Amino acid sequence: MGLTKSSTGTRLLSENFKDLKNKKGYTIALAGNPNVGKSTIFNSLTGMHQHTGNWPGKTVANAMGECLYKNQSFLFVDIPGTYSIMSSSEEEEIARDYICFGKPDATVIVIDATCLERNLNLVFQTMEITNNIIVCVNLLDEAKKKKIKIDLNKLSKELGVPVVGTIARNKKTLKNLMDIILKVCKKEIIPSPNKIIYKPIIENSISSLEIVLKDTLTLPNYLLRWISLKILDGEEKILNSIEKNFSISIVNNREIQEVRNTILKNLEKNKIYCENFRDNIVSTIVNNSEIICKKVCTFEVSNYSR
């Protein structure tokens, strides 16, 4: 397969995400819902098992591992399995913060081929944070047993990112995955995610905040949309992480809060309140996931539940 497992053993996570960067090569985040085979892929690629300790200040276990592929070094970070990165559970917080602030060279989102629609929710949420996404559709053997067919090429076009089908214990499919990871890292493939478009009133609100953020704070342009969404959502833990990692003030920034208050009043006129703002976001994501699933999936068993 051309893949060599590292003999350097386990490395514990540092307090600083920057220390997780692979100085000799590329750093890859492995994300996904629980029970999608993510850890099996991780172990197959690195030869390690998840018994390396906890993330700093958390009770959640972590694992990292290295491998060589085509003479290139890769550090894989197996981030906690989670269904969402919108809330504040430890798993969601770690996954979100690492993808956002750890700046991996690529984020591989492992999804279950037998329940594509549900798994796409995490894909769309992650697209708000980073463009360097590879979707790994795992458990293709289980999907075949259930007579589910997925058009991976069409799924790639719908999402705007590379899509690879895998069976975690099949070395050939993992080689295909490594080929795509290497090409994304070397920028031979440049993902261009087709991000969710929300209701016009919400899109206009996001745009208004993006302008203010760009004028008042020093932030990466690719994160302005996501941070604007988080400001409108008002989730304190997420905003605190953003402030801490970029050494900025959002909650106490008068100009930002004045614009936010004006936007919220306008949203209320359209029956979108602080209490149901996230519900509007989630329902749009769920609807898009359903539409894409209908386009790319064929179910020979007509009453199969996704």
pLDDT greater than 60 at residue 136: yes
Query: Does residue 23 contact residue 196 with C-beta atoms inside 8 Å?
Result: no
Query: Which pairing describes strands 163-165 and 133-138: parallel, antiparallel, or unpaired?
Result: parallel
Lowest-confidence region among 2-16, 127-141, 238-252, 258-272: 2-16
Task: List the single range of 57-71, 119-133, 162-176, 273-287 with lowest mean pLDDT.
Answer: 57-71
Largest CA distance in the chain: 61
CATH 3.40.50.300, domain 3-185, yes or no: yes
Tell me the whole-structure pTM to 2 decimals.
0.90
- How confident is the prediction for the chain on average, in pLDDT? 88
Percent of the chain's residues with pLDDT above 70:
87
End-to-end CA distance of the chain: 34
pLDDT the model gives residue 6 = 44
The region of weakest confidence among 37-46, 156-165, 258-267, 293-302 is: 293-302
Residues 211-217 have a mean pLDDT of 95
Query: How crowded is the C-beta side of 17, counted as CA atoms within 13 Å?
Result: 20
pLDDT value at position 237?
87
Residue 232 burial by CB count (10 A; 0-12/13-18/19+): exposed, middle or buried? buried
Residue 5 has pLDDT above 60, yes or no: no
**Domain boundaries in the chain?**
3-185, 200-271
- The predicted structure's pLDDT at residue 12: 37
CA 280 from chain centre, in angstroms, equals: 20
Q: Higher model confidence: residue 59 or residue 99?
A: 99
What pLDDT shows up at residue 62? 72
Mean pLDDT for 125-148 is 96
pLDDT tens for residues 16-51?
555 556 667 999 999 999 999 998 999 899 885 444
